[in-house]
């Protein structure tokens, strides 16, 4: 049913005694919950001498998810509230999406382009060139 679980005390990040209610319910400490990224559900495995709980991961957060979370945090830290907050978040996410669409289109155009450069030599395109400055390897700046 499951691979062998090895319990190594050297890997324990935090330990707590957790009280169980009369209804056999327990509360997972917030630090555990946050560290594991528990959303709504955990899988429970009955072992010989204990219970193993594992968070159910519904989907992996993408780079886009992380970028949008960053946008939301930035707008909140900039002091927007109420209706202004909603409008500013929508505006910035829309601008982010436009930039991503431009980069994707540029990437697709580069992939279709003639591999021969103007001087007749083939250009070494690895698919990441649109994101990095060709001279120094730094992240390329996009025009707004």
Please report whether residue 122 resides in a domain. Answer: yes
Q: What's residue 99's pLDDT?
A: 93
Mean pLDDT by 10 residues, the chain (144 residues): 69 87 91 83 86 81 89 93 93 94 86 59 58 60 51
Please report whether residue 2 resides in a domain. Answer: no
pTM of the model: 0.42
Give me the number of domains the chain comprises.
2
Q: What's residue 120's pLDDT?
A: 47
* DSSP-based three-state secondary structure for 36: helix
Task: State how far the Cα of 112 lies from the Cα of 122, in Å rounded to an integer.
Answer: 14
Task: State how far the Cα of 135 lies from the Cα of 32, in Å rounded to an integer.
Answer: 46
Q: What's residue 47's pLDDT?
A: 85
Closest CA to 134 of 143, 125, 142: 125
Please report whether residue 4 resides in a domain. Answer: no
Please report whether residue 136 resides in a domain. Answer: no
Q: How many CB atoms lie within 10 A of CB 75?
A: 21
Quote the domain boundaries for residue 46. Answer: 9-55
């Amino acid at each position: 049913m499951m691979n062998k679980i090895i319990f190594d005390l050297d890997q324990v990040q935090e330990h707590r005694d957790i009280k169980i209610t009369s209804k056999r319910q327990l509360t997972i400490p917030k630090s555990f919950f946050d560290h594991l990224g528990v959303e709504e559900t955990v899988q429970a495995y009955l072992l010989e001498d204990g219970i193993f709980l594992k968070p159910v991961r519904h989907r992996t957060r993408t780079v886009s998810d992380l970028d949008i979370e960053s946008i939301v945090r930035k707008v909140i830290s900039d002091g927007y509230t109420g209706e202004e907050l909603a409008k500013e978040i929508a505006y910035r996410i829309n601008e982010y999406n436009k930039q991503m669409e431009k980069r994707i289109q540029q990437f697709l155009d580069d992939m279709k382009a003639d591999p021969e450069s103007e001087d007749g030599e083939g250009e070494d395109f690895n698919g990441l060139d649109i994101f990095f400055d060709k001279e120094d390897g730094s992240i390329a700046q996009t025009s707004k």
